[in-house]
Amino acid sequence: MKSLRFDVFGREILVTKSGKGWAAYYLGADGKRRPATDILVPSDISESEMQQYLGDLCHEWATERHPSVKRLDWSGVGGGDFG
């Protein structure tokens, strides 16, 4: 399963792709995740389009302190591929 991690206007989001398509999760400071049922990602969105898609979808979350969407790396988190 492919996993991508983003800072979406100050909220940490994990997006995973499996045979069923993309699924989004909110990441907690304790390492736990919960489904982000308000973030629906069409299965035809590519990995390279994900950052722009999340920015377009969640733009209402933007603030002066958190004005953008950033892709985060996995250093110190255990890697980006699960499964």
| The pLDDT of residue 1 | 78
- Dist. CA 3–CA 59, nearest whole Å: 22
Residues (pLDDT < 50) of the chain are 76-83
54 CB contacts (<8 Å, ≥6 apart)? 6, 8, 13, 15, 39, 69
* Domain segments of the chain as ranges: 2-72
| The pLDDT of residue 31 | 82
| The pLDDT of residue 75 | 55
**DSSP symbol at 70:** E
| The pLDDT of residue 73 | 87
| The pLDDT of residue 83 | 35
| The pLDDT of residue 61 | 97
Q: Can you read off the two tokens belonging to residue 17?
A: 């792709």
Could you tell me the pTM of the whole model? Answer: 0.84
Query: If DSSP codes are grouped into helix, strand and coil, which group holds residue 43?
Result: coil
